[in-house]
Amino acid sequence: MAHDTTMTLSTIQFTYPTSTRALFCDVSVSFPPGWTAVMGDNGIGKTTLLRIALGRLNPDHGEVTPDPGSLVASYCPQTMDAEPDNLDDFADDWSPGTLAIRRLLGIGQDWPYRFGTLSGGEAKRLQLACALAVRPDVLILDEPTNHVDAEVRGRIIDAMRSYGGIGIVVSHDVELIDAVCTRCAVFVRRHVGSCNVTEIDTYRGNYTQACEQSDADDLRASTERNERRREVARLEDVREQRLRRVLRVNAAKRQGRLVDPHDHDARDRRNGAKATSRDGGASRSYAQMDGRLRRARRDLDGIAEASKRYDGDVWFAGEASHRRELIHEDACNLRRAMSECGVESFRLHRHIGSVAFGGHTSDDGIHEDEDRGRGPALSVGPRDHIGLSGPNGSGKTSLLTVLARHVDPGVRCMSIAQRTCADDSRRAVARLDELSRERSSIVLQAFAELNGDPERLLSGRHPSPGELTKLELCLGIPDRPQLLILDEPTNHLDLHSKQALARALEAFPGAFIVASHDEWFVRRISTIRWTLE
């Protein structure tokens, strides 16, 4: 492939076989060499469009140039359980280029032989290494920094910077986009006329620069809409005045027919009106104004307006338990349970919160267990908002698994794991289908509050990973949970949904333990911090 080749998708339309409406119509976008970030709400069609770019889906209409079959393309999916097609080849490839990729991403020698046992961050690095190893003309990464800590994110950024072809990354990771990308293609839903349409806006620069351009564009569009609205209102007023004039003339004509033939003055006024075509002129003037008004309204309808978003401030109904402790795990049992999950050694740091943990208190106000896995009991109170963080492999998922097994039986608990696959999607949709009409309505309203599209969810399509996260969260709402245990809930969420979830958790009246690599999110939602190392 020539270094200046650009991949272009022109007037693409696509409809899923199970859907009654097109996912998008007549969207166009170009991808030049370098990294372009593709952004937009969950389920809006980002991954679908990229599968069309790869030639794995055929559009209803439109074309991709150059033909996908003429390019070497690599695709790194967002799901962690997707084993790379070239995994065996990568395992046996010890060429200098592939060795450099292994070093850059910190790939362990045995990782290709035990893909199913890798942590989320390890699996993601191996997927990326396999994608880079084929030396592709086009490299497409779908949410590459999900499930990874800060160190691994840095390795992924370095690997992306080392790539020189057409790079396309679907991501909601602002740090990644600002560090790597020089263009942003943003999927947006807009209200045009009487319907919502999906469009793609393209901006030069990274996320921060794209936001500045987008805000400026929105301001210009808002100003133009207001000017057009004022013009429509003015024309409506003028048309009303001319209509009244036409009605007066017509009334005068009707009265003219009743003029006494002996009333010469009234007869002269009637004949004068006809001679000057006063009545015909009023009607023509009204018709012209009516045409101008229709054109002004069409111009106003042609200005796109962002579709409605939800604030997500009140959707998460729950309650605090009356129990003093929802979880109580002594040090010996915790150490043994973690060992059974494969975590032989760990250290848990805990910021001072509403529960007295005991142990050694360091100068920075953090409680520490001096001996690994030993120390005071682990306890969760009825209103504790706990954020759990730590590097990949430190045991966060194992700790959540252990704690979920030891929740007091009388506590209503909702637990959501971070691994999602097609089976998870089918099970979640089946659970929704089994709900009563009343409970289904509660779930779908909550789904909408997280900026999900209930109609798209009910159209028969499998939800995207981001939509699945939202759906699993919402399915637990009718049970009014008292405790939430969430493992990386923001991994697949778009930026607006992440903000909506943060607001909802802040206001949650019960307790939660949320593990996340997203430091902004953890700081926002938690009043107690646990850190594993």
Query: Average pLDDT of 83-103?
Result: 93
| HSE-up of residue 396 (Cα within 13 Å, Cβ side) | 30
Do 253 and 344 have their domain in common?
no
Q: What is the pLDDT of residue 166?
A: 95
Residue 210 lies in a domain: no
Query: What pLDDT does residue 374 have?
Result: 46
For the segment 92-107, the average pLDDT, to the nearest whole number, is 93
- 2 domain residue, yes or no: no
In a domain? residue 60:
yes
378 and 505, same domain (yes or no): yes
State how many domains the chain has. 3
* Structural domain contains residue 525: yes
Mind listing the pLDDT tens digit for each residue in 445-461?
A: 888 877 777 877 777 66
* pLDDT grade for 471, boundaries at 50, 70 and 90: confident
Residue 1 has pLDDT above 90, yes or no: no
Grade residue 362 by pLDDT with cuts at 50, 70 and 90: very low
Of 164, 179, 205, the last residue of a domain is 205
With a cut of 70, say whether residue 100 has pLDDT above it.
yes
Mean pLDDT of the chain: 80
CA distances from 531 to 107, 150, 339 (A): 25, 14, 18
Greater confidence, 290 or 142? 142
pLDDT tens readout for residues 278-305: 445 556 666 677 777 777 777 666 655 5
Residues 347 and 460 in one domain: yes
Residues near 487 by beta carbon (within 8 Å), at least 6 away in sequence: 396, 397, 400, 416, 417, 418, 515
**Are 393 and 448 found together in one domain?**
yes
What are 412-450's pLDDT values in tens digits?
999 988 766 677 888 888 888 888 988 888 888 888 877
User: If phi over 0 gives left and psi between -120 and 50 gives alpha, with beta otherwise, what is residue 40?
Assistant: left
Same domain, residue pair 120 and 250: no
**161 & 226 share domain:** no
- Which residues span the domain enclosing 89? 7-205
311: in domain:
no
Same domain, 39 and 175: yes
pLDDT band at 221 (very low <50, low <70, confident <90, very high): low
Residues 55 and 94 occupy one common structural domain: yes
Residue 367 predicted with pLDDT over 70: no
Once rounded to an integer, what is the mean pLDDT over residues 503-527?
A: 90
- 315 is a domain residue: no
Same-domain pairing of 184 and 248: no
Per-residue pLDDT tens for 157-194? 999 999 999 999 999 888 899 999 999 999 887 765 55
> Which residue, 275, 305, 335, sits at the end of a domain?
305
Here the CATH number for the domain that contains residue 519 is: 3.40.50.300
Say how far apart CA 307 and CA 121 lie, in whole Å: 35
Is there a domain that residue 1 lies in?
A: no
Whether a cis peptide bond, with omega within 30° of 0, leads into 66 is yes
Tell whether 67 and 126 lie within a shared domain.
yes
Q: Please tell me whether residues 145 and 267 are part of one structural domain.
A: no
* pLDDT tier for residue 265 given thresholds of 50, 70 and 90: low
Give 263 or 11, the one with higher predicted confidence: 11
Note whether residue 264 is domain-resident.
yes
> What pLDDT score was predicted for residue 512?
94
pLDDT recorded at residue 75: 92
